[in-house]
């Protein structure tokens, strides 16, 4: 025991002598390092830090400003200015990492000796030999290689940084750069992750605990090892008291103060609405590229209304259960709701059964045959010629059409024919032959061109079977296209993003709606009137809403029962719902859009419209007046 004490005394004496020697020779060493700088001309130019923008997390919000998700790559960070960081945190970090930061010029030779002396006295590592500036340049420019060359390069770069930047600028860069464990970089992200508060609001006790994490983030962070983190907090507070930066009373109170850790750290927090986030990211990447989305610190205001999104997800899950109970053999469902007045997507369901089980987003990625829900595009094209109206008659008789060396012979769903029938009635009961006759009359190329104008970009061929929905499209495309009908012919860009700002608050994307009249208002009014008949006395009668508000829409079922749809709209919402199986297997015979999809659609719409006024569809005279005022 005595021998041990004598040994420690000898070591301390040696360290004390070393301290004196280093302090005397400090200036000489610093001068030597300046000389060595000449031999390190290939080192990075530290002036690049003037424009340095560290990788920063992108934040995605709903239409009302509620946070939906944080998106980042390897680095999870939110950069904030120094004046938004707690003074307690600044002092605690400096006390532990570089107490003489404001007095040295990047390299502190005497600090190395001080660190040896302090650490030997404490029996543990309280101080490191590197200055805070050296730590910064090592993190930004160098590797963790343990060598004399790397250490000298670190010193040279640190001195260069001190010549270019102020102390506060260096401290700000450091506190935003440092890794704090648990996939958190920077003071703000660490504060939010561990304590669910901003770095500006950290107490002395919390700041001291964070400062104690830096030397070994994986081992010392309070989530992985609270006992060790608490011990480290005490060391930081002791050091602050020793330096005279806090009083003994503050030291004691901070040690005794209970620490409340966040229940769920933000670093590994999943999106509140994963299918929505996935689709938003895809749209962002198309606009800005993947690197900017993951590292650019964007602030994204989406068009999604989380209240409506919750209704959509709840309705979809109820629908999935009902489909199973009714023996439909349909395991998947997608839903997209668009505001016709803006083109904004208000809710999106990319699948049911859990995102973790299957990340395939059927709302935007699944191209499925639309069945008879495609027919409105054909009928609008016919109405727009001026030769047809809702009460025009069309022939519902057997027909065979040359198709190469063979003939294509379409039939109606029930195998019967009605002869002469009004367009209104043909749409209401979803007859196939009239749709094909009108498609041939107006030209399938023109139908495809209309679809492109409405925003449907999926591959589409002008084949004879096109009016029966042989083309594969996504629910997003269809909901956006029907939204143009709901608005009276006005098209706004169908989007999930309202506005994006960069890390500095500059607007880099503004999707403020700019509706353009792209369709004939009279033809649109005729089409909506016709599609209302589907709901009042056709295949979609189950879509009638309890409050009696106007509804137009079209059921759709493929002949092999692989897909079933209902796409319908009110003046406030255009909603497409699809059911089926990812492997294209057949559902049960008789699973039609009218029988199985319409009830799900109605339930969603009744919930979505609760509290909204009953509105009427636009009429051509009002649209004409609006256009005259615009011009």
Rounded (10°) CA dihedral 577, 580, 582, 587: 180
97, 162, 172, 283: the catalytic one is: 97
Nearest Cα residue to 352 out of 327, 315, 317, 321:
317
Place of tokens 């699973």: 591
Whole-angstrom Cα distance, residue 45 to residue 561? Answer: 66
The token duo for 195 is 């304590």
Instruction: Note whether 197 and 205 are within 8 A (CB).
Output: no
Nearest Cα residue to 111 out of 220, 244, 102:
102
Nearest Cα residue to 582 out of 282, 353, 245, 348:
353
Phi and psi (nearest 5°) for 424? -55, -45
Active site annotation includes 78: no
Place of tokens 């509620």: 66
Whole-angstrom Cα distance, residue 532 to residue 552? Answer: 4
Active site annotation includes 17: no
Whole-angstrom Cα distance, residue 5 to residue 11? Answer: 10
- Cross-strand bridge partners of residue 474: none
Instruction: Note whether 494 and 363 are within 8 A (CB).
Output: no
Nearest Cα residue to 515 out of 405, 435, 627:
627
Nearest Cα residue to 346 out of 336, 356, 331, 354:
336
110, 130, 191, 372: the catalytic one is: 372
The token duo for 75 is 């680095």
Residue 619 to residues 255, 360, 380, 545, 574: CA-CA distances in angstroms?
Answer: 72, 40, 16, 21, 17
Strand 401-403 with 406-408, pairing: antiparallel
Q: Which residues have a catalytic role annotated?
A: 97, 372
């Amino acid at each position: 025991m005595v021998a041990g004490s004598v040994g420690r005394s000898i070591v301390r004496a040696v360290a004390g002598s070393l301290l004196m020697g280093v302090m005397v020779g400090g200036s000489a060493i610093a001068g030597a390092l300046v000389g060595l700088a000449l031999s390190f001309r290939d080192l990075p130019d530290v002036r690049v830090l003037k424009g340095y923008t560290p990788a920063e997390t992108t934040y995605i919000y709903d239409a009302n400003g509620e946070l939906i998700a944080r998106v980042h790559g390897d680095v999870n960070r939110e950069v904030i200015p120094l004046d938004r960081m707690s003074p307690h945190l600044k002092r605690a970090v400096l006390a532990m990492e570089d107490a003489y930061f404001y007095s040295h010029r990047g390299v502190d030779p005497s600090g190395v000796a001080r660190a040896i002396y302090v650490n030997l006295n404490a029996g543990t590592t309280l101080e490191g030999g590197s200055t805070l500036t050296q730590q910064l340049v090592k993190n930004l420019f160098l590797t963790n290689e343990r060598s004399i060359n790397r250490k000298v390069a670190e010193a040279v770069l640190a001195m260069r940084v001190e010549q270019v930047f102020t102390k506060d600028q260096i401290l700000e860069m450091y506190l935003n750069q440092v890794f704090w464990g648990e996939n958190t970089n920077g003071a703000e992200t660490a504060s939010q992750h561990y304590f669910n508060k901003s770095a500006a609001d950290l107490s002395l006790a919390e700041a001291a605990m964070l400062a104690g994490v830096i030397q070994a983030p994986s081992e010392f962070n309070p989530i992985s090892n609270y006992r060790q983190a608490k011990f480290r907090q005490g060391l930081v507070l002791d050091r602050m008291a020793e330096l005279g930066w806090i009083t003994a009373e503050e030291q004691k109170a901070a040690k005794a103060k209970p620490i409340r850790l966040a229940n769920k750290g933000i670093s590994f927090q999943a999106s509140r609405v994963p299918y929505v986030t996935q689709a938003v990211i895809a749209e962002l990447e198309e606009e800005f590229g993947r690197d900017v989305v993951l590292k650019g610190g964007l602030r994204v205001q989406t068009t999604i209304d989380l209240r409506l999104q919750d209704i959509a997800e709840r309705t979809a899950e109820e629908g999935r259960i009902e489909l199973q109970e009714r023996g439909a053999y349909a395991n998947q469902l997608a839903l997209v709701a668009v505001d016709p007045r803006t083109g904004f997507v208000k809710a999106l369901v990319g699948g049911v059964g859990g995102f973790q089980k299957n990340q395939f987003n059927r709302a935007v990625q699944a191209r499925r045959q639309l069945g008879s829900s495609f027919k409105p595009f054909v009928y609008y094209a016919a109405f727009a010629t001026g030769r047809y109206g809702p009460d025009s008659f069309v022939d519902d008789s057997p027909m065979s059409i040359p198709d190469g060396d063979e003939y294509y012979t379409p039939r109606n769903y029930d195998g019967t024919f009605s002869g002469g029938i009004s367009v209104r009635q043909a749409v209401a009961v979803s007859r196939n032959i009239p749709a094909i006759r009108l498609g041939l009359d107006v030209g399938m190329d023109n139908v495809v061109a209309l679809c492109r104008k409405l925003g449907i970009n999926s591959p589409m061929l002008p084949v004879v079977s096109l009016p029966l929905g042989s083309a594969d499209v996504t629910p997003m495309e269809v909901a956006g296209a029907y939204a143009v009908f709901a608005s009276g012919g006005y098209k706004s860009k169908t989007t999930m993003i309202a506005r994006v700002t960069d890390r500095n608050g500059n607007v880099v994307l503004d999707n403020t709606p700019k509706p353009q009249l792209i369709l004939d208002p009279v033809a649109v009014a005729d089409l909506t009137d016709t599609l209302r008949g589907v709901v009042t006395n056709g295949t979609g009668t189950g879509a009638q809403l309890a409050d009696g508000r106007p509804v137009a829409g079209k059921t759709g079922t493929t002949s092999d029962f692989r897909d079933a749809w209902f796409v319908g709209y009110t003046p406030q919402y255009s909603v497409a719902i699809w059911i089926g199986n990812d492997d294209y297997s057949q559902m049960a015979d008789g699973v039609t859009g009218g029988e199985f999809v319409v009830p799900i659609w109605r339930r969603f719409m009744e919930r979505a419209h609760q509290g909204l006024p009953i509105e009427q569809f636009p009429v051509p005279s009002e649209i004409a007046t609006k256009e005259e005022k615009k011009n």
